[in-house]
Chains A and B, each alone.
Chain A
């Protein structure tokens, strides 16, 4: 009997030990191609893709030349265009400087961020539901992240700490989803970004994960982990191919010339264990992925990206995209 009990104890100890080891196993990152799909999009670009629950896709094309070509579209699971959501314009129900989109899986609602200061909401049939003006505080919104479980949404954008925007900003702002009431601002941009005069190229991107919010303030080589009510921490991203820090910028140069040829962070995605940051060369077609743990530990740096990272599914797959003639080719990779 004693032997049996001893054996049972041994089995219990080792099996629980294995579980702990599995839980604590260092996260790794390997991309594996799942499928390739062509979207019937004869022109323009796709800057953002959100997989929809029915297998289709919600896409954003922020092409600014000409402005009229910016568009939000819904594609079916086989890549056929189903409809456009909203269109270019200044009136309610339109977008004038399309910046980012989000999708509420709880309410099947498309959120469209217009950088000129308006958030518009549409249903998937394309019907304009309502809009919110970003006024108190007023700023030009860049990114959006929904935290549907907690009834919050977050916008990024520069709210001046003092009077002038290039003297430093609060960059992440929290709102109540049901009332659209502004609640608070959560993080400041990096003092080095102010010192090096990055203001004209700064791009604040944000994503929400169960463990918190993750933000980048391009061109800073860092990411911020923001856990509302707990704290904010910044972690360096030390990918060697990123090419080191970008020197102080000359704001007198034309905007298109600033930081040309440099890797800049374009996107950030996160899940419960990994933070994936995509970097692209400004003015070129080269992309890298920088993958870190939620606490800033490097997991895989300078991963050659199979294309431009434009989206992430809820099931640990990433979507990359590039134009191929009259189609827009998507590639889904698991990781």
Chain B
């Protein structure tokens, strides 16, 4: 077998693997988007209108950037190990500039929200939901609660509860990356 043959076989194998992985990712995307496990797809559009006590609308620009976004709801009282996920989300944001991350700290003062940004060296904003009104509106089944949504429809593609072990955090991170790839592939199938 000549070296030309070996190169050709390697190229074919690579193409085959790519086609296979994209098929898997696309399946995953459809599964998550159309049938999120155990939950009906919900819309975040109400959050756009949400007003804090001071009159500000911290999420009025939801979807404005056109970027897929992770919204992370937590209370300062959640399991400390679970809150560590903020650091993982920051890593995701840095790694994937096309993904936006925002966090909502339920029952935290604006000062405490700033503390959280500082404590975890976050490059994204933590919104203080001091009176827990956003919690009442969204009714997260548990906290921390994270949703990954489509910027065009504001419909939730995937949602998840607390991730405690580092493997769980990494797994959420990886699923987001897969979904993003699948979404891009959907938008531009020729790529």
Contact = CB atoms under 8 A, between A and B. Distances in A.
B77 A96 contact: yes
Question: Which applies to chain A's interface (DSSP): helix, strand, loop or mixed?
Answer: loop
A137 B80 CA distance: 8
B80 A139 contact: yes
Interface string A126-168: 0000111111111110000000000000000000100100000
A138 B81 contact: yes
A15 to B, nearest CB: 58
B186 interface: no
Interface in A84-108: 90-92, 96
B130 A135 contact: no
Interface string B102-115: 00000111011001
A280 interface: no
A131 B111 contact: yes
Contacts of B111: 92, 130-131
A88 B118 CA distance: 27
B75 A131 contact: no
Nearest to A96: B77
Interface in B66-106: 75-77, 80-81, 83-84
Contacts of A140: 80
A116 interface: yes
A220 B84 CA distance: 30
Given A90-B77, A92-B108, A92-B111, 10 more contacts: A90-B107, A90-B132, A91-B107, A92-B112, A92-B130, A116-B76, A131-B112, A133-B112, A135-B76, A135-B119
Given A90-B107, A131-B109, A131-B112, A136 B120 contact: yes
28 contacts: A90-B107, A90-B132, A91-B107, A91-B109, A91-B131, A92-B107, A92-B108, A92-B109, A92-B111, A92-B112, A92-B130, A116-B77, A117-B80, A118-B76, A118-B77, A118-B112, A131-B109, A131-B112, A133-B108, A135-B83, A135-B115, A135-B116, A136-B119, A138-B81, A138-B83, A138-B84, A140-B80, A163-B165
Nearest to B112: A133
Interface in A213-246: none
Measured as residues with beta carbon below 8 angstroms from the partner, the interface class of chain A is 20 to 34
Contacts of B109: 91-92, 131
Contacts of B83: 135, 138
A163 B120 CA distance: 19
Given A92-B112, A130-B111, A133-B119, A138 B80 contact: yes
B116 A133 contact: yes
A63 B116 CA distance: 30
Nearest to B107: A90
Contacts of A91: 107, 109, 130-132
Interface string B123-134: 000000011100
B132 A133 contact: no
Closest 5 CB pairs of A and B: A138-B80, A116-B77, A92-B109, A90-B107, A136-B119
Given A92-B108, A133-B108, A117 B115 contact: no
Nearest to A180: B115
Residue in A132, A135, A160 whose Cβ sees the most chain B Cβ within 10 Å:
A135
Contacts of A117: 76-77, 80
Contacts of B81: 138, 160, 163
Nearest to A90: B107
A135 B122 CA distance: 13
Contacts of A135: 76, 80, 83, 115-116, 119-120
